[in-house]
Amino acid sequence: MCGIMGCIGSVNSIPQVIEGLSKLEYRGYDSAGIAIIKDDSVIINKKEGRLQKLCDTLSEELYANIAIGHTRWATHGLPNDCNAHPHTDCSGKIALVHNGIIENHAALRKGLQAEGHIFLSETDTEVISHLVEKYYTDSIEAAVRKALPFLEGSFALAILCAGEPDKIIAAKKDSPLIVGLGERENYIASDIPAILGRTNKVYILEDNEFAVLSKDSAVITDFGGKPVEKEIFNVTWDPVAAEKGGFDHFMLKEIFEQPEAIRKTLSGRINNGKVDFSELGFDEIFKKAGKIYIVACGTAYHAGVVGRVAIEKLAEIPVETDVASEFRYRKILWRPDDFMIVISQSGETADTVSALKEAKQRGIKVLAITNVVGSTVAREADKVIYTNAGPEIAVASTKAYLTQLTVMYLLAVYMADLRRSYDPLKLKGIVGDLFYMDASIEMVLKENEHIKSVARKYKEVESTFFLGRGLDFAVALEGALKLKEISYIHAEAYAAGELKHGPLALITKGVPVLVLITQDKLVDKTMSNVKEVKARGAVVVAVCKENLKDACNECDEQVLLPRMNPVLTPLVSVVPLQLFAYYMAVFRGTDVDKPRNLAKSVTVE
Ligand code: AGP
């Protein structure tokens, strides 16, 4: 979603801000803009479309040691030059960029217009610049502090003012914002990748925190001006990990990074063949658990669906998995021993954060699984397990999903061990299989060219189906999501047995049906569904375990997976589906890493 990058220093800040914005492109956006102060005036350039379009408007001679920039993902108003950030006040002296949504913008706009303020855009953001103008006398810091209490909703703000070229003001509520601490240069950014390679020292701003940045200092207070003691957070992400490293797209790179990612997720969590999560201090909660609610969005939700099956099977705890945006509309009959698991790659997904906060308000313990250290989810939950996948840049999540699955399996095994709910020898076997999972994934990655050739055959289709039973259905959901989000091909996932209750009507000659067949006990049932679709002219691509290949020989194509415990197959069966989606998108010429309309980090509800 929207990205913020600001820089104040002793050399030209414009290249820093442009580079920072380029590192945030992965979040998804539809316009970009920058504000600088030069010769006591604010100069703004903003353009609908890609960042490069903005760069084309910037003269090479342009120089300023203070700049704030933004990539906008439209919410209020069309994606066009006018609605792009930064926005200014009537005088053009105050400029600001904003992430989040000002919920009371309509009322504020009406009041400000009545007072004579002239609005140029349709955005909610523009009310902030006029509100700050209203309170401005001689200090931008004081004016912003006066304006903030009138804002309802979420905001991460970076503001500059023509008369005060030595400072950037920033404020945060319910939208992420970090301060990067450089050498005679400081930064404000919505996300860590923006400052990677410039500094690894950051302050992660909390809600209701306010920052005043100069080239030599970063002073953090609350909105009222009370100093806040901040700890410097050392970012350990390798800047090179956020580069493409020879791959055509981040997505392909991240698919191929999965064996390494899974090794990092497992690292330090298995001792003497046993999973150890004792440091979470959740053992009593795990032992007594009545019910677990797993809440997440999109791909992370799909990881939760697999997690539900694994936990119910191994730890014998009832689990409900919900999409976060729907969770709030349920009347959850929480019982004292219930707890919640939230899963989020970014740790900033607004719907997930809201569900988490709601549970906490009711006194429910929350365990978070996230990839981003210091993210909102990590800070708000009672305890956090990091997936350690490294930066995931492509909008389509791949290695994050796989590492989320890995954590779910580790948790299921750990809880099963504590609760003595599963044969200890079999548990050891599962841990052993997890340990060697990287090698199994590598074997599947060797099928790359084969999967590419399958994708080439079907690249013109308009509609596809993904089928499976049990865990295979959980992975079918993820396979269909991958295909639709990056190739824009209609893709539906169905529980194989459900097809004949309606969607079978959509199966016609030549429609590709991808079937997952990894659950030894369910092969016959799934194969009868395969026969049903084949009888209607579908072409069937099976992703099946090697030992089941004869049983699946009626399928038109087979992608084979190594033999393994059926409970763990999602860790490998998803990989061919990721590659299939990737190549379908490449063949259709879509913007693979930044698909239309989508954002990496969905920070609005
Ligand atoms: C995945 O490919 C999607 N881009 C999307 O569904 C994503 O998983 C979802 O928005 C949740 O994001 P999170 O894990 O950062 O919370």
- For tokens 């709910």, the residue is 421
Residue 24 has pLDDT above 90, yes or no: no
pLDDT attached to residue 239: 65
- For tokens 């259709």, the residue is 588
What size, in residues, is the chain?
Answer: 605
Report the atom number in ligand 1 closest to the C-alpha of 299: 8
**One-letter amino acid for residue 185 of the chain:** E
Cβ–ligand 1 contact at 346 (below 6 Å): yes
pLDDT attached to residue 305: 98
Q: Dihedral through CA 539, CA 481, CA 523, CA 417, nearest 10?
A: 170
> Which of 27, 192, 251, 299 has most ligand 1 atoms within 8 Å of CB, for mutation?
299
Q: Which residue has the higher pLDDT, 393 or 408?
A: 408
Q: How many angstroms is it from 278 CA to the middle of ligand 1?
A: 28
Cβ–ligand 1 contact at 397 (below 6 Å): yes
pLDDT attached to residue 242: 67
Cβ–ligand 1 contact at 345 (below 6 Å): yes
pLDDT attached to residue 590: 95
Q: How many angstroms is it from 40 CA to the middle of ligand 1?
A: 43
pLDDT attached to residue 384: 97
Cβ–ligand 1 contact at 300 (below 6 Å): yes
Q: Which of 317-321, 579-583, 596-600 has the lowest mean pLDDT?
A: 596-600
Cis amide bond preceding 336, omega within 30? no
Apex CA 384: angle with CA 383 and CA 388, to 5°?
165
Q: How many angstroms is it from 300 CA to the middle of ligand 1?
A: 6
Residue 238 has pLDDT above 80, yes or no: no
pLDDT attached to residue 78: 85
Decide if 83 contacts 121 (C-beta within 8 A). Answer: yes
- Please state, in angstroms and rounded to a whole number, the distance separating the CA atoms of residues 22 and 455: 30
DSSP 86-133: PEE-TTS-EEEEEES-BTTHHHHHHHHHHTTPPP-SS-STHHHHHHHH
Q: Tell me the HSE value of 131 on the side-chain side, using a 13 A CA sphere.
A: 25
Q: What is the band of 514 on the pLDDT scale with cuts at 50, 70, 90?
A: very high
Neighbours of 90 (CB within 10 A): 16
Catalytic residue positions, numbered: 2, 600
Q: What is the band of 240 on the pLDDT scale with cuts at 50, 70, 90?
A: low
Residue 26 has pLDDT above 90, yes or no: no
Cβ–ligand 1 contact at 395 (below 6 Å): yes
Q: How large a percentage of the chain has pLDDT more than 90?
A: 84
Of all helices (H) and strands (E), which one includes residue 308?
A: helix 298-314
- For tokens 């539809």, the residue is 30
- Please state, in angstroms and rounded to a whole number, the distance separating the CA atoms of residues 358 and 164: 41
Mean pLDDT value of segment 383-402:
95
* Mean of pLDDT over the chain: 94
Residue 602 has pLDDT above 70, yes or no: yes
Report the atom number in ligand 1 closest to the C-alpha of 345: 14
Residue 560 has pLDDT above 90, yes or no: yes
Per residue in 249-299, pLDDT tens?
Answer: 999 999 999 999 999 999 999 988 899 999 999 999 999 999 999 999 999
3-state percent breakdown (helix, strand, coil) of the chain, nearest 5: 40, 25, 35
Q: What is the band of 241 on the pLDDT scale with cuts at 50, 70, 90?
A: low
Q: How many angstroms is it from 9 CA to the middle of ligand 1?
A: 35
pLDDT attached to residue 500: 87
Q: How many angstroms is it from 600 CA to the middle of ligand 1?
A: 7
> Which of 26, 254, 297 has most ligand 1 atoms within 8 Å of CB, for mutation?
297
Q: What is the band of 197 on the pLDDT scale with cuts at 50, 70, 90?
A: confident
Whether pTM > 0.85 for this model: the answer is: no
Closest by CA to 517, choosing from 451, 460, 576, is 576
Closest by CA to 61, choosing from 49, 48, 43, 46, is 43
